[in-house]
Chains A and B, each alone.
Chain A
Amino acid sequence: MSLPDPAQSPELAQSPELAQSPELAQSPELAGAADPTGGDLVLSRRIAALLRSGTVVAAVLFTVGAVLLPVHEAAARWTLAAGCVVLLLLPVVRLVLMTDHFVRIRTGWLAAASLTVLALVVAGALTGLLLGSG
Chain B
Amino acid sequence: MSPALLVLVTLFVLAYGAVGIFAVRRRLLGRLALREAVRRRGQTLLVVAGLMVGTATITAALVAADSVGDSTVDAFAYNNWGYVDLTVTATNQFFPRDVADRLATSPAVARVVDGVSAGIELVGSVSDLTARQGTSGITLVGFDPGSQRPFGAFVLTTGRETYGQDLAPGAVLLSRVLADKLQAKPGDRLHVSVEVPGSARPALPVDLRVAGIARSEGPGAYTLGSVVFAPLATAQDIAGTDLINIVRISAPGGIRDSVQAGHRAAPVLARETKSLGSPIRLAVSEVKAREVKTAKDSTVFIRALLVGMSALVVAAGAALVINLIGMLAEERRSRMGVLRALGLKRSRLVGLSVTEGAIYSLAAGVLGTGVGIAAGRLVAARFGRAFAEFAGSDFDFTFHFSLKPATLLAGFVLGTLLTLAVIFLASRRTSRMTITAAIRNLPEPPPERKSRRWRTVRLAAFGVLGVLGLTAPGFPRLAGGIALILVLSAVARSRLSSRTHSTLTGLALAGWSFAIIGGSDPNADANTFFLVFVVAMLTSVFGLTLLASANLHVAETVVGLLGRAFAGLRAILRPPLAYLSRRPVRTGLTTGVFAVIVGMLSLFAVFFVIFRPDYQRFGNGYDVRVLSTGSATVELPAEVRADVIRFIDIPTRGYIGPLKTQGGFGGGERVFVPLFQVGNDVAEAPPVRLDQRDKRFDSDRAVWEAVARNPSLVVADFGSPGQKLTLQGRDGPVTFTIAAAQAFGLLDGVFGTERTLSPFQSAPLGASVLVDVRDNADAPRVARTIERDLFGQGVDADSIQKLLDTADRANRAFFSTIDVLMRMGLVVGILSLGIVGMRVVTERRHVIGVLRAVGYKRRHVMLGLMTEATVTATIGAAVGIVVGVTMGYLFYRQSASQPGFGIDLASIGGVLGLIYLAVLLVTLGPAWRASRLSPAEAVRYSE
Does chain A bind chain B?
no
Footprint of B on A, CB under 8 Å? none
